[in-house]
Amino acid sequence: MWVIPREELSSVQKLKKILISPPEISYSDIQYILNYIQPENFFDFRHNHQFESKIAGIVGMPYVLSAQSGTAALHLALKVLGVKTGDTVLCQSMTFVASANPILYERANPVFIDSEPETLNMDPELLEKAIQELFKKGIKPAAIIYVHTFGTPGNADEVMRIGRQYGIPIIEDAAEALGSYYDNTPAGNFGDISVFSFNINKIISTGGGGALCSKNKKYVEKARFLANQAKEQRQHYEHCELGYNYQLNPFAAILGKAQLPKLKHRAEKKRELHRFYFDLFKNLKNIKLIGESHKSRSNFWVNAVIFENYDTYNSMVSLFEAFGVEVKPLWKPMHMQPLYKSYMHYLNGVSENAYRLGLFLPSGSSMTKAQRDQIEYIIKKL
C-alpha cells in the first residue's frame, strides 16, 4: 500500500475537502431570492407554476408538477399508474434506494434487474427475460422504473420498445439526469411519466425538491390532486381518497427559478470535467471510467470508476482519504440490501462488481483548478 510522506500530508491537509457532488448554490441565487422576501411569496404557488413551465420547456414534457422531493414524485407516479398492494414493479437494482422505496410504500413487490456494463443502466435483455418469465407465471408487471444511472441515459430505445411491446408503463427515474440527452431528446421525455430530483446534491437544486412530468395531462392532474391531500373541489374540506402533502414549497420554487438558467453551463463544466478524467485514466488499463452510450449525451452528474482489482482500488481509497477527497463506493445494489434482498432479482454480476470495485469521483461543476491539480497529482501516483 502507498504511504504518503509526512511533509506532503501536512501541506495538502490545509486544502478544503473535495466533495463528490457539492451543493451549487451561488450568491446570485441568494440575490435572486432576496428580491422575493415578502410575506405573500411564501404561499404564492404561481412560483411553482413558473418553475414547472420552465422544466416543461427543458424536458419537452407539456405537463409538470413540482413536488417536495424526487422520492415523493416517484411515489405519486406509482399512485397515478394505479400500482397497488401485491402488484409487481420492475426496478433497476443499481440505483439509489429512493428509486425502490415507493414500491414498498404501496406494498407492491419489486423485482430487481441488473445493469449493462457500459453505462450501468438497466440491462434490457434481462428486463425482457424477467417480463417473459413473469408473464408465464400469469403476472403482468404494473410498471418499470428505469433509472438514468449517474445522469447518463443508457439504451433507452430498447427499454421503451420492451415497455410498449408488453404493455407495461415506464417511469423514467431521471432524478440525476436533468440536462442529459438520448438520441438528441432530453432525458425525462421518454417515459409515460418521468421524475426529477432537485435535492441539494443535484445539478439544479431547490434545497430539496422534485418534479413529475408527463405528456398525459390526466396523470399530472391526478398527481397534483394527490400531492395536495386529495382535497376535493368543494367549498368545505372534503376528502374521498388518501392524499399526501407532497407539494413543493413556493420558496424552493423561487430558488429553482434562479438555478435553472445555469443548467447548460453546469452540464458543460461537468462534461469538461469528465474529459479531464478521461484523459487521466485513458492509459490506466486496470481502471474503467464509466462513460456514455453511443446515443447519449450525459450531464455527467457524477463520474464513476471501476477497478480491475482490489490493490488499485485500495490505493485510490487511501490516497483520497489522505488528501482530503471524499470517498464513496458506488451504490450497493438493491438486491444486496438487507431491506430488499428477499425480493426477486435478475442478475448478471455487473452491479455487484461495480459496487465492490467502483468509486465515485469528485464531480462538482464548481471544482477549482487547484482541486483538479490535486486530483491529477493523486491519480498519477496510482
Ligand X SMILES: Cc1ncc(COP(=O)(O)O)c(C=O)c1O
The answer to whether the CB of 256 falls within 8 A of the CB of 275 is no
User: Closest separation between CB of residue 74 and ligand X, Å?
Assistant: 6
Residues 289, 303: Cα–Cα separation, whole Å: 7
205 binds ligand X (CB under 6 A): no
Residue written as grid cell 409515460: 192
Q: What residues numbered 27-86 form the site for ligand X, per CB under 6 A?
A: 69-71
> Is residue 141 within the footprint of ligand X (CB under 6 A)?
no
175 touches ligand X by CB under 6 A: yes
**Is residue 121 near ligand X by the rule CB under 6 A?**
no
Q: Which position has the grid cell 447519449?
A: 296
Contact 188, 159 (CB under 8 A): no
**Residue 381 CA to its chain's centroid (Å):** 31
Cβ-contact 66, 211 below 8 angstroms: yes
Site residue total, ligand X (CB under 6 A): 14
**Considering the complex, what minimum distance in angstroms separates the CB of residue 363 from ligand X?**
13
Nearer to ligand X, 120 or 325 (CB): 120
Nearer to ligand X among residue 73 and residue 111 (C-beta)? 73
How far apart CA 277 and CA 220 sit, in angstroms, is 39
Q: Determine the interface stretch with ligand X among 173-181, 211-219, 226-234, 319-327 (rule: CB under 6 A).
A: 173-181
The residue among 99 and 296 lying less far from ligand X, judged by its C-beta, is 99
- Verify binding: residue 350, ligand X, rule CB under 6 A: no
Q: How many alpha carbons lie under 13 Å from residue 354 in its C-beta half-sphere? A: 30
Smallest distance from the beta carbon of 116 to ligand X, in angstroms?
A: 16
Q: Is 197 in the site for ligand X (CB under 6 A)?
A: yes
Residues 6 or more apart in contact with residue 351 via CB below 8 angstroms = 93, 94, 114, 115, 120, 333, 335
- Please identify the residue of the shown chain whose CB is closest to the bound ligand X: 70
Q: b/e for 331-364, b at 16 or more Cβ within 10 A?
A: bbbbbbeeebeebbbbbeebbbbbbebbbbbbbb
Contact with ligand X (CB under 6 A) among 29, 118, 172, 173? 173
Which is closer to ligand X, CB of 102 or CB of 371? 102
Q: Which residues bind ligand X (CB under 6 A)?
A: 69-71, 95-96, 98-99, 147, 173, 175-176, 197, 199, 210
